[in-house]
Amino acid sequence: MIKLHNISKTFKTASSSQQILKNVDFSVMPEDFITIAGPSGCGKSTLLSIISLLLPPDDGKITYNGVNVDFSSQAQLEQMRVKYTGLIFQNPNLISSLNVLENVLLPANYKKLGKKATIEKAKKLLSDVGLSEKTNADVSKLSGGEMQRVSIARALINEPKVLFCDEPTGALDQETSQQILKLLLEIARKNKSAIVMVTHDNDIWEKGRRKVRLQGGKLIELG
């Protein structure tokens, strides 16, 4: 579904440069559960940003379902993001001036189902993540785990083919982390979505069906 070929990325400052990714080849297939680990600062989040079309590589090629990604075309990027990607971060990045339902609807593609059906879908997603009673709640009153559940529902509103998760449990306690991971896996299986997850938690990394380490700019797949 997604293929990276010979991807490289270097970050430069006035006095130095650091090559974060070196000729990386990588693929994401339907219903994969891929966990990515590596030392702090090694480029895990950079890799995730490139795969999810948020950041262009310096060199190399990315294809989505056989179509070459053109990072100079904002129209193509937006179309591919809406069709293929859902994003979940360590910080849920909810908008405090909007209620729970409105936050879930932020990235919604109303053209696909129409406004009424999309709103009903958002409510169903909130029910799926255990927040049916919080639809109109003020997001500032939610717990950390509840906020992350809202961000999961938001990421799923356009039925993405791939959920890209950057340390989604990093700010949560161990019990809540396990609940969020279980929820993600259940929903991904139900929706037949792949998951690509960056994590520093070795227990979560071990649960990946494909386990990858990033070190020295190279990806090493360990199972």
Q: How many angstroms separate the first and last alpha carbons of the chain?
A: 19
Domains of the chain: residue spans and CATH: 2-221 (3.40.50.300)
The Cα 117–Cα 165 span in angstroms is 27
Give me the residues of the chain with pLDDT under 50, please: none
Query: Taking the model in full, what pTM does it have?
Result: 0.90
Q: What are the pLDDT digits (tens) for 60-93? A: 999 999 999 999 999 999 999 999 999 999 889 9
Torsion angles phi and psi, residue 169, rounded to 5 = -110, 10
* pLDDT reported for residue 71: 96
* pLDDT reported for residue 190: 87
Whose structure tokens read 């590589």? 57
How many angstroms separate the most distant Cα atoms in the chain? Answer: 54
Amino acid at position 200, single letter: H
The Cα 126–Cα 58 span in angstroms is 39
